[in-house]
Amino acid sequence: MSEAMNLPAGVVEVSETGTGRFANEVRVGTHHLMADEPVDVGGSDSGPMPHDFVLAGLGACTSMTVRMYAERKGMKLTRVAVRLTQRKIKAADCPDCTTKDGEVTEISRDVTLEGDLTPDERARLIEIANKCPVHKTLTCEIKVRTHLVG
């Protein structure tokens, strides 16, 4: 991978750094991030775990989408904060899941809205949170196509 060139929009490159068993450099445009696993599973904890990036993407998208909508509608939103967790649950214990065998991943997203907002505005902003593009991606059918290039 070329260190000198910025990546085009929509392209993410991930490669091992050679500095730890699971340490990876993540390149997105002009940004360089680290990904790793915790020490207790053999990593060096030099960056977030891969699933943390998924949650971070959903959280950032949620916050940005809510902010854009509030500004467009002239709402007095002063701050958005999103806290996310994920866990595996038995599909049989999930009353609104289509899958009934095995496990499903459940993401919990807690949204804090600060500002002089009416109850109706707060409710609308939570509806909008569920329309952020990453939320839509994670809740629709996804196909990952893997190609060997070298």
* Same domain, residue pair 19 and 67: no
Residues 49, 51: Cα–Cα separation, whole Å: 6
Residues 80, 57, single domain; the answer is yes
Q: Are residues 36 and 58 in the same domain?
A: no
Residues 65 and 107 in one domain: yes
Assess if residue 149 is contained within a domain.
no
Residue 150: inside a domain: no
Is the four-CA dihedral 91, 94, 100, 104 of positive or negative sign? negative
**Partners of 79 in the beta sheet?**
114
Residue 18 falls within a domain, yes or no? yes
**Torsion angle in degrees (nearest 10) through CA of 2, 33, 114, 125:** 50
- 38 shares its domain with 59: no
Q: Indicate whether 16 and 38 sit together in one domain.
A: yes
Give tens-digit pLDDT for 45-100.
Answer: 999 999 999 999 999 999 999 999 999 999 999 999 999 999 999 999 888 888 88
Residues 55 and 42 in one domain: no
Domain holding 59, by residue range, is: 50-138
Distances 21 to 17, 33, 115, 131, 148 between C-alpha atoms, Å? 9, 17, 45, 38, 22
pTM of the model: 0.90
Q: Quick: pLDDT tens for 108-132.
A: 999 999 999 999 999 999 999 999 9
Structural domains of the chain, count: 2
